[in-house]
Structure 1
Amino acid sequence: MRPHASVLHLDLDAFFAAVEQRDKPSLRGKPVIVGGIGPRGVVSTASYEARTFGVHSAMPMHEARRRCPHAAFLSGRFGAYRAASGIVMGLLRELSPLVEPLSLDEAFVDLAVGERSLEPGAVLAEVAALKLRLAEATGGLTASVGVGSSKFIAKVATELAKPDGVRLVAPGTEVEVIAPLPARAIPGIGPVTMEKLARLGVSNVADLQRLSPRELVRELGRAQGEWIAALAFARDDRPVEPDRETKSISVEDTFETDVTDRMALDAVVERDATGVARRLSAAGLFARTITLKARYPDFTTLTRSRTLDGATDAAETIAAVARVLLDTIDVPRGLRLLGVGVAGLTESAQEALFELAPVEPGERSPVERGATPAVNPSGPDQLNQGEVENRASAGVEFVEDSGLTHTGVPTMARRPAGYRPGDDVVHDEQGAGWVWGTGLGRVTVRFETAETGPGPVRTFAVDDPALRPAQG
């Protein structure tokens, strides 16, 4: 164990939703939910205003709508998220060359490099300066920061600091700090494992500390039992691993509650496949091998892969193969993690020797489907009556970062790809704004930006030549 609290963990607060609130003044202080905006979608991020209604990530979107019907439901803008993430990661690399990004909004930093003082006061002052610079550089985003003697303790400290706080766990106090926490605070303890531990009288970490490693191994198996026994006493010597040469690309979702709904998991697969495809395209790469990673509640992790005859960067191909691989997973058992990845990267595409299976009978392609309003009308900013009725009846499925938002309602009109709820648009006369809702051949736009106050709402024909998606 390290003698100093020198591992920093940073987690941007409600990141996707916070970026939307930053860029959309009318949504500041209001519940915002980002993710799959239809009944088959899942919540990616909920603002803290939405969390007070019980909405959380990985929740089915239909449940989020039931709990918080007055929220703004947005499909996400990965360009904006990636830009903000790049600023934050750059600030972290100014602190230390040893930065381990976990996702767009989360990273570990090893502070035990260079000539800095590792005394708690000096570290806390450095963190305070970092948070100020982060807020200034990102236009007001906030982050929770934890510092500890290991990755585990730093991440626990971040959870204790949320939202927008700082917590440093002094070396020597780790066991005392984690003792009152729920046993689920330890990575690897999901619902199934918790059921087994409950039979031993375990409810919090202090209860785990009273058990011997032998008891845990007997109940959970050697690998998981030894892992949990070590973390119960804050023993974690994993190093902070900085970026390496890209040999594979993957996107993973860890769910707050175990997911058994196959349709919700299919939506996650499509969203993650789109994210992987975007990263492939940005890097100018193609992939021959597609991988699906799944983790059960007891922390058992499975990986399934398929190698193509050719190389691809197409989201549709990656998603189709990943869905086939998901067929081999025991979904009713529940999943706490699901991820899509690619490997076998090459700089040239190759023609596949076979075609993917066609769309199943009765299933329509995304371009044959329409969309529905993103925000429930309230006050003076009303959709017309047809759009209000359509909002109540239409179901929308979201494919993250793909430009596709579609519904199974046959009477819905087609609309151009890119007019998704929350997307940035420009009108020749009205200027910059964002898509407030679409449907029935129309698109409703709120004209405002991060630099303006809340702006007016206007509705246009979906093919209005004066309206177009914003560039970038």
Structure 2
Amino acid sequence: MDAFYASVELLRYPELRGQPVVIGGGSRHQPEPGADGKLQFHKLRDYVGRGVVTTSTYEARALGVFSAMGMMKAAKLAPDAILLPTDFESYRHYSRLFKNAVAEIAPLIEDRGIDEIYIDLSEHTEEIRPLAQRIKDAVRAATGLSCSIGVAPNKLLAKICSELDKPDGVTLISAADIPTRIWPLAARKVNGIGPKAAEKLSALGLHTIGDLAAADPALLQDHFGRTYSEWLMRISHGQDERPVVTSSETKSISRESTFERDLHAKLDRDTLTPIFTDLCVRLAGDLQRKGYVGRTIGIKLKFADFRGVTRDLTLPDATDDAATIRQAAGECLRRVTLDRRLRLLGVRVTALSRKELSDSSPMLAQGELFGEE
């Protein structure tokens, strides 16, 4: 999907089309009606906090604002950009719509997150470009949004070429197109070559995928080890044997909250306790909606100095009950010395299994967890 979160917001606020828009604010950044009845939008220049950009429109990207960038840094690059809060419920709704639309045409789908899928088209007899266009048209009809499709012999190449003609593009490449379409691209365009690896490659004079393809295998092995260097050589020649995986089991489900300001476990317990309870309730709801129960309950804490702590507790029986999850997570929490300010709190469930029988859940009591017992 093209700039997915931002595109969903533009359906809600069409008057912002063509403007730099950044998604990543909190509820306080919700637009409000002005004296003239028109919505008044917050500007990025007014943001104060430690949040990060969730996504941005292509106009904001042209100003250098990209996802995962600190909001304060983004404000310096694009102070006049519109700032909107995230609305994950809405994004998940449109995600389901677009995936259902694709599945009506091509059901062999590997889910890669809220805005991306792989599709196996190998059994289709229809001409590929019209088929790809039919999928795009179905997505737009279902959601009002555009997507970009890359069609290639394997997942590696499909992922790369889906980015080549964004937004609203259809890109087809074959093995014969690798020298002209793939080799000139920067090595970091390959999913799996991160910033550190790209920096090491650049220091060796290997800037493009073509440079990798022409590199001495011994040079790569000396600097990256046998396994990773062999993978680099394979991907540089467009080789990828991974199948489209149409089903997978979830390994863990979690919920977490990053605070607008650092919270002290004792001084701010009246704020922290309901946040903790809400995370457990929402996590239980996720389990119930997805049909899972889990035996291992864990917490994740991140302190003001960015150091993190995790604790886990394995229960005798798997659960999807909010009260049970909160009690277990509370036990984990009591095993941490809470003498520093917190910037993040999270709760997770692992050791998942499919729920066979449903039963009623008891009411959730909030109780005290933070501060003196």
TM-score normalised by L of structure 2: 0.68
Contact 1:40–1:60 (Cα < 8 Å) also in 2? yes
Aligned-partner Cα distance in 1 for 2:281–2:114: 15
1:163–1:172 CA distance, 2 compared to 1 (3 A): same
1:103-118 equivalence runs, <5 A? 103-114=113-124, 116-117=125-126
1:237-277 Cα shifts (integer Å, max 9, x gaps)? 1000012354544799xxxxxxxxxx9xxxxxx9x999866
Cα distance in structure 2, aligned partners of 1:187 and 1:273: 34
| Equivalent position amino acid for 2:4 in 1 | F
Q: C-alpha distance in 1, partners of 2:281/2:221?
A: 40
CA 1:291–1:159 in structure 2 vs 1: closer, same or farther (change >3 Å)?
A: farther
Matched, 1:279 2:281: no
Could you give the per-residue CA deviations for residues 198-253 of structure 1, whole angstroms, max 9, x where no partner exists? 3321111121112133321221122221211110111101000012354544799x
Q: 1:356 to 1:207 in 2, by over 3 A?
A: farther
CA distance in 2, matches of 1:356, 1:241: 44
The residue correspondences of 1:402-417 to structure 2 (distance < 5 A) are none
How much has 1:56 moved relative to structure 2? 0.6
1:101 to 85, 92, 111: 111
The equivalent residue for 1:344 is 351
**Residue in structure 2 matched with residue 50 of structure 1 by the alignment:** 60
Classify the secondary structure of the residue corresponding to 1:160.
Answer: coil
Counterpart of 1:152 in structure 2 is 156
Question: Which structure's relative contact order is higher, taking Cα pairs within 8 Å and 6+ residues apart?
Answer: 1
With over 3 angstroms needed to count, the CA separation of the structure-2 counterparts of 1:215 and 1:342, relative to structure 1, is farther
The answer to whether the Cα contact below 8 Å between 2:313 and 2:332 also exists between their aligned partners in 1 is: no
Give yes or no for contact 2:148–2:169 (8 Å, CA) kept in 1: yes
The corresponding residue for 1:6 is: none
Letter in 1 for 2:85: S
Q: Provide the aligned C-alpha RMSD in A.
A: 3.9
Give the drift of 1:68: 2.3
Runs of 5+ in structure 1 lacking a partner?
A: 1-11, 253-262, 264-269, 294-303, 326-338, 361-472
TM-score (norm 1): 0.55
What is the aligned partner in structure 2 of residue 187 from structure 1?
A: 191
Q: What is residue 127 of structure 1 aligned with on the other side?
A: 132
1:73 corresponds to which residue? 83
The answer (yes or no) to whether the contact 1:186–1:228 under 8 Å persists in 2 is: no
- 1:17 is paired with a residue whose SS is helix
2:229 aligned with 1:205: no
Does the 8 Å contact 1:312/1:350 carry over to 2?
no
For 1:161, what is the secondary structure of its paired residue? Answer: coil
CA contact (8 A) 1:95 1:111 kept: no
Partner in structure 2 of residue 20 of structure 1: 9
Quote the offset at 1:342 in angstroms. Answer: 3.8
Is 2:146 the counterpart of 1:142?
Answer: yes
Count of residue pairs brought into register by the alignment:
300
The answer as to whether partners of 1:42 and 1:60 remain within 8 angstroms in 2 is: yes
SS in 1 for 2:128: helix
User: Could you report, residue by residue, the CA deviation over 1:385-429 in whole angstroms, capped at 9, with x for unpaired residues?
Assistant: xxxxxxxxxxxxxxxxxxxxxxxxxxxxxxxxxxxxxxxxxxxxx
Shift in alpha-carbon separation, 1:307–1:181, aligned structure 2, 3 A: farther
Identical positions, percent: 37
Q: Indicate if the aligned counterparts of 1:22 and 1:28 stay in contact, CA closer than 8 A.
A: no
Provide the secondary structure at the position in 2 that maps to 1:59: coil
Question: How is 1:79-94 mapped onto 2 (pairs within 5 angstroms)?
Answer: 79-94=89-104
| Contact kept in structure 1, 2:21 and 2:82, CA below 8 Å | yes
Q: Aligned equivalents of 2:202 and 2:287: distance in 1?
A: 44
Deviations 1:282-336 (A, max 9, x none): 235443336899xxxxxxxxxx8834448567699879979x99xxxxxxxxxxx
Cα distance change on mapping 1:291 and 1:88 into 2, 3 Å: farther
**Does structure 1 conserve the Cα–Cα contact (< 8 Å) formed by 2:92 and 2:114?**
yes
After superposition, the C-alpha distances for 1:131-154 in whole angstroms (9 at most, x for unaligned) are 12211211x211111010110100
- Please give the alpha-carbon distance, in whole angstroms, between the structure 2 residues aligned to 1:231 and 1:163: 25
In structure 2, the CA distance between the partners of 1:68 and 1:318, relative to structure 1 (3 Å rule), is farther
Q: Is the 8 A contact 1:96 1:113 kept in 2?
A: no
Instruction: Please say if residues 23 and 55 of structure 2, whose CA atoms lie closer than 8 Å, have aligned partners that are also in contact.
Output: yes
Aligned residues of 2:213 and 2:237 also touching (Cα < 8 A)? yes
Distance (whole Å) between structure 1 residues aligned to residue 13 and residue 230 of structure 2: 48
Tell me, in whole angstroms, the C-alpha distance in 2 between the residues paired with 1:95 and 1:318: 43
Alpha-carbon deviation of 1:195? Answer: 2.9
Matched residue of 1:104: which SS? coil
Residue by residue, what CA displacement relative to the aligned partner does 1:176-198 show, whole Å, maximum 9, x if unpaired?
42111111112232222223223
User: One-letter code of the match for 1:344?
Assistant: A
- 8 Å CA contact 2:175, 2:238 repeated in 1: no
Match of 2:71 among 45, 61, 67: 61
- Aligned partners of 2:130, 2:226: CA distance in 1, in Å? 42
Q: Give the secondary-structure state (helix, strand or coil) at the position aligned to 2:295.
A: strand
Cα 1:193–1:80 change in 2 (3 A) is same
Distance 2:174 2:248 in 1: 31
Sort the Cα spacing of 1:79 and 1:199 in 2 relative to 1 into closer, same or farther, 3 A: closer
Alignment-derived partner of residue 358 in structure 1: 370
1:314-333 equivalent positions in 2, closer than 5 A? none
